[in-house]
Structure 1
Amino acid sequence: MKTVKLIATAAMGLEAIVANEVRELGYENVQVENGKVIFETDSVGIARANLWLRTADRIKVIIGEFHAETFEELFEKTKALPWSEYITKDAEFPVIGRSVKSKLFSISDCQAIVKKAVVESLKQSYHIDWFEEQGPLHRIEVALLKDKATLTIDASGTGLHKRGYRYLHNEAPLKETLAAAMIKLTNWHPDRPFYDPFCGSGTLAIEAAMIGQNIAPGINRDFAFEQWDWYEQGWIDRALEEAEDLAKYDQPLNIVGSDNDHKMIELAKNNAIEAGFPDLIQFKQMQVKDFRTNEEYGVIVGNPPYGERMNERAYVENLYRQMGMTFKPLNTWSVYIITSYPHFEKVYGQKATKKRKLYNGNIRTDYYQYWGKRPPKLNK
């Protein structure tokens, strides 16, 4: 079993959360950089990382790293890498690229040179002159940053936010990876109530259920690495067996999602069924101002409308005002709201305990955190 170096890519602002997840999987020497987390593992770790990382975008296997200021350097050093250890002679191996602050700034040229170098390397290994590329996908990326080239193969295939349960969604869906990160940034535990007042297609509630029962988010989907000839089925089976053993399917949860649109409620219910939670999550058609509860020490996590369009501004401000009045009496509850609206605290009527910058797609947002009273410690 070989040692491999992996990159877990991350949305801006989520790198530290992804790094914590990597450490929780037992990996050490974790390096955190802008947009990525780098770590070493054995071959089984490729499967484990894809199965378990809730907040990473995708997993890439690092084939090589080197300095390159000329196309000749890029070609020769790429050609010298051990491509035949990863790519079989029937594999499909397209090349994508990006370049930041590097002398080799033409992405199309870099892609073409890397492709040619990989082909030449494989020709020498397999003693053939033509590659049909009809087999398993091995998407190569050449990433240049300040003249340092990193060559990787994408192990995930479809992005990790595609859990496999959300076939349909609303017009502005929250990515599953961001939803999981929002929950991980709260003080929620599975024994406490969880409420999403703007559930939409149910993503936050479903991600909370998966976290609450410690279900690996990738358990019900496929990955690119599963088709690689060198990747052994036993490694996949070992990671899947571990995921099943660690799941807590009997963990009771109190998770509620609401939305004022009955179509969204039906959509959320269908997605919850696809995720394997037909009865665990309660979805209600309800306006946020109508929320009432006698429960204590719960957590509210919401992704309300942002009012990005001018004609929505008055509606959104009224909604935020209603939220503030509705949640104010719940002094044992903690409230976490993401929005790009810059005057949220003023309209909501309360300054946040803490706020954190996050990106919802390309939208720069703030994650407002209002911490409620801590539950009393139980006397032993």
Structure 2
Amino acid sequence: MTGSLLDVHDLSVSFDTYEGRHDVLDGVDLTVNEGETVALVGETGCGKSVTARSIMGTLPRPPGDITSGEIRYDGADLLADEAAHERVKGDEMSMIFQDPMTYLSPVYPVGSMMADVATYSGGRDASWWEILKNLLGHRADREAIRERSVELLDRMRIPDPEGTLDRYPVELSGGMRQRVIIAMALINEPDFLIADEPTTALDVTVQNQILDLLRERVEERDLSMLYITHNLGVAREIADRICIMYAGEIVEVGRTEDIFDAPLHPYTRGLLESIPKLTGFEGTGIDGQIPDYTDPPSGCRFHPRCPAAMEGTCDVEPVEEYAVGDDRTVACHLYEDGMDFEDAAAIAADEATYRGEDAQPAEAGVGGER
């Protein structure tokens, strides 16, 4: 890996609805380096897909409104330059969606849709004349696109790739449709890929096959990827780094092995404890639910559900991002004194310290007097 390819800074997004204004993203910071896979992990409703759509430039506006922030791709500020955003998302970015039947047209065969993506990606508002000209264009061009499509479907391990081009999505299984979506996302050889929970509706066997295919393509072409999931187990399989998101905020960032070996944020610990164990013991999970975005909690958005919440601090004071160890950040008041990695991990593992059952936070060196 070399320098950063994508830098998202202080991104805030709101939606105007009949119920009121939903403040969904609140100052999101996110970086993906060249050749790196970053997983964005959180519960359903945390704002993961809103983040992805903001980066891709497909956020519906209105009702969506990007109220602040920067999205820089290879140095270019995409929010400040709409033309650059259109060019980048057409030529260098691509996205894999989680529900193929929503994004595959039921009235066109697979080959026709792949040819359209290959032909019109990066263009805006193609006229009927341009469409007709492409339909009647050189036979050699059409055959080249078809050969490229067959090659990709074959790489996606689809049986009879040539015949699949002439089939409609309804004729394919869920796993086959998801492979087609991936092939369409890769047909123009992007440098940056967003995968929005591409294995959510698939069984475990097919899920593993899809993950293997994505890993192969990332390694073959040295792609950078933002992988969105609610499943920490999947993130562990595919990501170099993990960003934990809660209620529109990034609460912890670290290398994958560090997140699993020593989770720092109470929310991260709750997610890990929610993973079923082979031993049969039930995890404790996390009580409560995502807050109402029309009236989000003051202070830390997680404090109403947090077993470590400190009254008068977590429910009042805005949370800052603290650097804890190498390539590790956490947005939690427990770490505001800048303690080193080992001490932070030890305190994070001891919930009694938070609650004051055995020791007060000040005695543990966290946060000083309250």
TM (normalized to structure 1)? 0.29
TM-score (norm 2): 0.30
